[in-house]
């Protein structure tokens, strides 16, 4: 379901991330202390069941998921976010991987910066972008994808997904979705995995 909200610019996210860094709040915390930990843990399990597991994270934010994945034996081939503040925090979180993270905009194609990985992840990204279908369409055919989308409204969500069927209806033509899992009882976030058609 589309909302009437606009897509927010990188500067809006820079401010949020900077405030969290100063307060040592949500996005600054280690992944185990995040509200998303259970969702990320499920995604890590899915990725670890792939031979030679590796990931490239689109909309990587401050790198919490990549940090968790790396510490669970998954190779990180790179990550991008359009917020310079998020990328700096990501580089600080994983200094040995700092050169793998860059500031890129998913609305600018082609994705020349995309590195090969067994899985591409997009956590809490697609609901913030007007052209979410264009983002997924730009991925290579046959690429494994894991993403999450919310069921609830928020000031920066341009769309929400009340049901599993909403997710399938929106993305089923581009992604062969093999699993859609609700990650919470209240304020559901749908964790999805599949393969780009």
Share of the chain above pLDDT 90, in %: 92
Tokens representing 91 are 């580089």
Task: Tell me the C-alpha distance between 62 and 70, whole Å.
Answer: 14
Pairing of strands 189-196, 175-182: antiparallel
Confidence band, pLDDT 50/70/90 cuts, at residue 184: confident
Name 36's Cβ contacts closer than 8 Å, sequence gap at least 6: 64, 65, 123, 124, 189
Task: Tell me the C-alpha distance between 74 and 93, whole Å.
Answer: 16
Instruction: Dump pLDDT digits (tens) for 3-62.
Output: 888 999 999 999 999 998 888 899 999 999 999 999 999 999 999 999 999 999 999 999
Share of the chain above pLDDT 70, in %: 100
Is the link from the previous residue into 110 a cis peptide, with omega within 30 of 0?
yes
Confidence band, pLDDT 50/70/90 cuts, at residue 1: confident
Exposed e or buried b for every residue in 82-91, given b needs 16+ CB within 10 A?
Answer: bbebbbbbbb
Task: Tell me the C-alpha distance between 94 and 40, whole Å.
Answer: 17
Q: What pLDDT is attached to residue 185?
A: 75
Report pTM: 0.96
Q: Where are the domains of the chain?
A: 34-196
Name 134's Cβ contacts closer than 8 Å, sequence gap at least 6: 107, 109
- What CATH number labels 34-196? 3.40.50.150
Which secondary-structure segment (H or E) carries 178? strand 175-182
**Which among 153, 152, 145 has a CA at the least distance from the CA of 189?**
152
**Which among 149, 148, 169 has a CA at the least distance from the CA of 159?**
149
Instruction: Dump pLDDT digits (tens) for 74-131.
Output: 999 999 999 999 999 999 999 999 999 999 999 999 999 999 999 999 999 999 999 9
């Amino acid at each position: 379901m589309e909302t009437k909200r606009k897509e927010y610019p990188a500067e809006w996210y820079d401010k949020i991330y900077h405030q969290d860094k100063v307060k040592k709040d949500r996005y600054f915390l280690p992944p185990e202390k995040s509200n998303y930990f259970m969702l990320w843990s499920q995604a890590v399990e899915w990725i670890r069941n792939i031979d030679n597991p590796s990931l490239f994270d689109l909309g990587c934010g401050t790198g919490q998921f990549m940090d968790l994945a790396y510490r669970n034996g998954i190779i990180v081939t790179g990550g991008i976010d359009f917020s310079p503040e998020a990328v700096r925090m990501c580089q600080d979180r994983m200094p040995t991987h700092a050169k793998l993270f860059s500031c890129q905009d998913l609305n600018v194609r082609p994705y020349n910066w995309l590195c090969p990985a067994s899985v591409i992840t997009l956590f809490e990204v697609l609901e913030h972008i007007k052209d979410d279908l264009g983002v997924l369409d730009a991925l290579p055919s046959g690429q494994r994808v894991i993403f999450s989308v919310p069921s609830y409204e928020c000031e920066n969500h341009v769309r929400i997904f009340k049901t599993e069927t909403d997710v399938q209806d929106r993305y089923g033509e581009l992604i062969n979705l093999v699993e859609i899992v609700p990650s919470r009882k209240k304020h559901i976030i749908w964790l999805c995995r599949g393969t780009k058609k």
